[in-house]
């Protein structure tokens, strides 16, 4: 059975690269460019996600708000919150929960692969 991932980022280039990498690593991928679109996507799918990537600084529904909406419905997923800013710079925008990994953009492919492998073997 293929693994599945949800990618939520308003940067189309990043979504495309992440999607391509995850396809290479045998993931089914659903993409959304906003928190609102992500909620529509998950409402219309039977998918249970292994990984959920969320940009912290989304327009409209914030990354934090999206995480707080999705986490109760997908508690088994590993959440990766991403931003071009350091974690300390985003502290006010991050969920109080520690049930996520913070990934600073840009990141290297090897760093991402290692992170995914580690999350999926926990």
For residue 39, name the pLDDT band (cuts at 50, 70, 90): very high
Q: What is this structure's pTM?
A: 0.90
Mind listing the pLDDT tens digit for each residue in 65-77? 999 999 999 999 9
DSSP string, the chain: --EEEEEE-S-HHHHHHHHHHHHHTTEEEEEESSHHHHHHHHHT-----SEEEEETT-SSS-HHHHHHHHTTT-TTSEEEEEESS-TGGGGGGS-SS--SEEEESS--HHHHHHHHHHHHT-
Mind listing the pLDDT tens digit for each residue in 40-58? 999 988 888 999 999 998 9
Region 91-105 average pLDDT: 71
């Amino acid at each position: 059975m293929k693994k599945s991932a949800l990618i939520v980022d308003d940067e189309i280039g990043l979504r495309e690269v992440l999607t391509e990498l995850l396809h290479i690593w045998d993931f089914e991928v659903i993409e959304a460019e906003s928190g609102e679109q992500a909620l529509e996507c998950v409402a219309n799918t039977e998918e249970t996600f292994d990984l959920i990537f969320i940009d912290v600084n989304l327009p409209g529904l914030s990354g934090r708000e999206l995480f707080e909406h999705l986490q109760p419905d997908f508690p088994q997923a590993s959440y990766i919150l991403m931003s071009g800013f350091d974690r300390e710079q985003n502290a006010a925008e991050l969920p109080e929960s520690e049930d996520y990994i913070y990934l600073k953009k840009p990141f290297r492919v090897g760093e991402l692969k290692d992170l995914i492998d580690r999350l999926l073997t926990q």
